[in-house]
Homo-oligomer: A and B are copies of this chain.
């Protein structure tokens, strides 16, 4: 298995992009990544996307985007694992380069949600859950997460307000990210008075939709001989694991076994323990998911993640900085693109380019992308130099 490095990254601002088509969004991020890598073309493109078939009446995004950015005759595929499609595309690109089948792979995550009316988006998001036993009986995706959060508050004795700092940290960091959907800090009062979406999840617990794309160029590590060490970002861990698709199928709905499994495998590949992670881009689609991900990945005991937040340990100067460029909450969550934004942001940190929220001396970073209510979780660990 060849060692793989990331040579270039690119992203677009997340917002309602009425002036850009799906292909323009993906193309902008892809071309930015190629430019950042100093390359003009790639052997293959792996596209992460969840809902273009319904939201944009366009499938076949591999050929669609390869065509748009001029990668004629390159290999191209669309990869989908619901909300973790971005990381799945990155992992597919990684395996292709690692296998030796090709040398330069472009991974791009893209989602254009604004083209769909709100009620349709809710139905489209629910296709990440079990159509027969969850979505089909009327449970929306936010409602599934609300069930988990309600149970968490009950089981571990936290108050809803104890989750405020996940949101406050994300928004405080998003202020410095020019690509973030929201760049306004929020207060505990803002969190407390935020209206409920599905009890106990309020607007301020839920990530923001949007249109956006993020991309990376993967190459064999060998190709980078002679480059300054500061430009070399190695992929030292990559693992994916699944759990039951329906939340109710799990023995403990408050423990993300797929996160535990994928993180463990990634740590083992990297030869490190969680204490060596300098920055963790977490999947805070809902604040409860940030907590469950921190716990299952080994950063807090079960039921104790809110303590990390209350102690200030998730801030850029804390023990385990998360959502350092705004996270899903403030940077935004264009579903199939999110995993690629996480990778791009980890790399910004490892390159020392995270202006305003740079984690000092960041050398090893982790990104964890969650599909569904925890049914498909992909963990990547990257290292500078």
Q: Say if the beta carbon of A78 comes within 8 Å of chain B.
A: yes
Closest to A51 in B: B53
Contact count band on A = 35 or more
A127-135, A171-179, A299-307 - the one binding chain B:
A127-135
Do most interface residues of chain A lie in helix, strand or loop, or is the interface mixed? mixed
Say yes or no: B57 contacts A245, CB within 8 Å: no
Partner of A60, one of B54, B60, B82, B136: B82
Contact residues in B for A62 (Cβ distance below 8 Å): 80-81, 242, 376
Closest to A57 in B: B131
Given contacts A72-B242, A76-B242, A242-B72, contact A60 B257 (CB under 8 A): no
A94-102, A153-161, A207-215, A316-324 - the one binding chain B:
A94-102
Contact residues in B for A129 (Cβ distance below 8 Å): 60
Residues 112 to 145 of chain A near chain B (Cβ within 8 Å): 123-124, 126-132, 135-136
Say yes or no: A99 contacts B258, CB within 8 Å: no
Q: Nearest 4 A-B pairs (CB), nearest first?
A: A99-B99, A58-B131, A60-B82, A59-B127
Q: What are 7 residue pairs bridging A and B, where the CB atoms are less than 8 Å apart in the complex?
A: A59-B82, A63-B371, A73-B257, A76-B240, A76-B376, A78-B80, A98-B99
Binding site for B on A (CB under 8 A): 1, 21, 44, 50-51, 53-54, 56-64, 66-67, 71-82, 88, 92, 95-96, 98-101, 123-124, 126-132, 135-136, 238-246, 249, 257-258, 261, 371-372, 375-376
